[in-house]
Structure 1
């Protein structure tokens, strides 16, 4: 059986999911015909049965790809900062690092001090003071983003290096 890369399998699965949605719409179109009373409906080349079989086969291939992708993501690792991570862990780590970078960017964009004018007509002036160093957080955000991008690159390279036993010829 021919092989495809893990990266190709992920893309193919996405395309097949879209294809199933299109087939679901098609089956509803070919299932009914409006005709004049007492006339025989003209049946096209794509019948309900044909489309239904195609949906079934495509869904089976999606399940197979799912299994192969999950197995590959658990059984293969990437090295990052001198530690081996399964691909699934590495994907989650990259996601968490991007989330941390977003938080740090917000904190890094803050002013050290900002004047807040009086509330309730008191006329008093209030100052909002950052209880942290915004510049440190700005720099940390850049570092997290850089590391997340590096990890994503390692994951992507690994995805192209892993070969899965799946025949994609009928979808080429």
Structure 2
């Protein structure tokens, strides 16, 4: 059995999911035929049972690949900011850093003072930011930089981890 890097496994998992979807669509196409009443059923190139067998085989490979990837993501670690994180923790942290950066960008683009409302009782109503937008713009840039750095560390690690999975029939 040949080996596959964890990075390649991520791509292969996407390929398998797409292939499963395509086979499900093929099942829908070959499951029925339209013929005149009393006519013989036409011969099909691939009967439903054959498509079903192929989809079952790919689903089995998908589950195995998924198990190997989960195991690798738990058993292997990356270094980030002087801390050792399992890959699964690092992936979640990168996701959280990107969410933080998005929120900080929103605050960083805000105006310090806005006039969102009409005038009530002849007194102008203004909306004041309780924060410094520039400070949040800078925080957003830093959070995004950290997320990118962590993603690169994860990606580098993913290429160094080999999984015992035969991908020759897919790649």
**TM-score where L is the length of structure 2:** 0.93
1:112-151 alignment, distance < 5 Å: 112-116=112-116, 118-120=118-120, 122-151=121-150
Alignment match, 1:171: 170
Alignment match, 1:92: 92
Pairs aligned (count): 171
Displacement of 1:151 in angstroms is 0.4
Using a 3 Å threshold, how does the CA distance of structure 1 residues 117 and 169 change in structure 2: closer, same or farther?
closer
- How many Å separate the matches in 1 of 2:62 and 2:141? 38
Listed as ranges, the gaps of 5+ residues in structure 2 are: none
Tell me, yes or no, if structure 1 residue 68 matches structure 2 residue 61: no
Match of 2:32, SS?
A: coil
Alignment match, 1:59: 59
Report Cα offsets for 1:54-89 as digits up to 9, x if no partner.
Answer: 011010011001101100110111100010111110
Alignment match, 1:40: 40
- How many Å separate the matches in 1 of 2:20 and 2:107? 44
Alignment match, 1:109: 109
CA contact (8 A) 1:117 1:123 kept: no
1:8-47 alignment, distance < 5 Å: 8-47=8-47
* 20-29 vs 70-79, greater mean Cα deviation: 20-29
**TM-score where L is the length of structure 1:** 0.92
- Which ranges of 4 or more aligned residues in structure 1 deviate by more than 4 Å? none
Match of 1:157, SS?
A: helix
Alignment match, 2:49: 49
Match of 2:126, SS?
A: strand
CA RMSD of aligned residues (A): 1.5
Displacement of 1:36 in angstroms is 3.1
Alignment match, 2:82: 82
Displacement of 1:3 in angstroms is 0.6
Displacement of 1:117 in angstroms is 5.3
- How many Å separate the matches in 2 of 1:87 and 1:117? 48
CA contact (8 A) 1:117 1:124 kept: no
